[in-house]
Amino acid sequence: MKFKGTPGPWEVMNATDVFTQQGSANGSGVVCDNDDGWQVAGCFNGKTFVQGELVTLSLSEKEANARLIAAAPDLLEALNSIMELQTRGYVVLGDKCTEMASAAIAKAIGEEE
């Protein structure tokens, strides 16, 4: 199980944009040569129709979404480490936790069933 996207760490810039660090390589090994790094995500839109009216997410919700996205590589690495410790018998997780962790990892790396 390996993540094939843009490697972390990622950070939030301009409140709602998620970038790699300056000089980072993308998933194909191409190194950026600008000041911001690779833009991984932008949580700037967030529009939908509610009862026929166009509604936009609040800035605080967009900022929270950006922070969660920026933490994704770290969360995946931590979860993979926990699962590796369980495989070696150093950590014992319940069946439900193991299933949830395995499903989350599979979703993150594109191997959902």
Give me the pLDDT at residue 113, please: 65
Q: What is the mean pLDDT of each run of 10 residues along the chain (113 residues)?
A: 83 90 82 80 84 88 91 92 91 88 88 74
Give me the pLDDT at residue 73, please: 92
Find how far residue 107's CA is from the centre of its chain: 11
Concatenate the DSSP letters of all residues of 8-51 into one string: S-EEEETTTEEEE-TT-B-TTSPBP-SSS--EEEE----EEEET
> Token pair for residue 53?
């009216």
Q: Of 68, 72, 62, 70, nearest to 16 (Cα)?
A: 62
Whether residue 2 contacts residue 109, with contact meaning beta carbons closer than 8 Å, is answered with yes
CA distance linking residue 40 with residue 112, whole number of Å = 21
Give me the pLDDT at residue 82, please: 93
Residue 79 amino acid letter? L
Give me the pLDDT at residue 74, please: 93
